[in-house]
Amino acid sequence: MKENRKIKTPNSKLPSITPSGKKDHNFSQLVFEIVRQIPKGRVTSYGAIAQSLGMEKSARMVGWALSNCSNAAPKVPAHRVVNSSGVLSGRHAFKTPTLMQELLEKEGIVVKNNKVIHFKKYFWDPMEEL
């Protein structure tokens, strides 16, 4: 039996999701707000964002939300979100598969083989920094 289920508390400084586990359709908006706060030249992961929303195991929903971010205004710097290994897993959702990397390099981040070099160094944790 697994009791290693660490229940994370949502970051109180962020807008909270509907209480009592009720699903809310503006989940995407919460994700966008966090992503918009990622400083230029820094990156974070889908899981870290999920954590700050109190949904540690729902990193997939973050990706799902971002796939819809083209419609959002103002624009969401989705290129600053990579997976927990620093891989640009979302690159195919951009206009061209290389755009994500180009945007990151424009901000001073080095990308090799679709992977962020010195990922830890550039990592921005919404849980701690917000």
Partner DNA sequence: TCACTGACCGAGA
Partner DNA sequence: ATCTCGGCCAGTG
Q: How far is CA 127 from the centre of its chain?
A: 12
Q: Which is nearer to DNA, 62 or 116 (CB)?
A: 62
- Euclidean distance between CA atoms 113 and 7, whole angstroms: 35
Q: Which is nearer to DNA, 41 or 97 (CB)?
A: 97
Helix (H) or strand (E) holding 38: none
Stretch that binds DNA, among 8-16, 56-64, 101-109, 117-125 (CB under 7 A): 56-64
Nearest distance in Å: CB 47, DNA: 3
Q: How many residues sit in the footprint of DNA (CB under 7 A)?
A: 30
Name which of residues 58 to 117 contact DNA (CB under 7 A): 58-64, 66-67, 69-70, 78, 81, 83-85, 89-90, 92-93
Stretch that binds DNA, among 7-15, 21-29, 103-111, 116-124 (CB under 7 A): 21-29
Q: Are 41 and 107 in contact (CB under 8 A)?
A: yes
Q: Binding residues for DNA, per CB under 7 A?
A: 23, 25, 27, 45-48, 50, 55, 57-64, 66-67, 69-70, 78, 81, 83-85, 89-90, 92-93
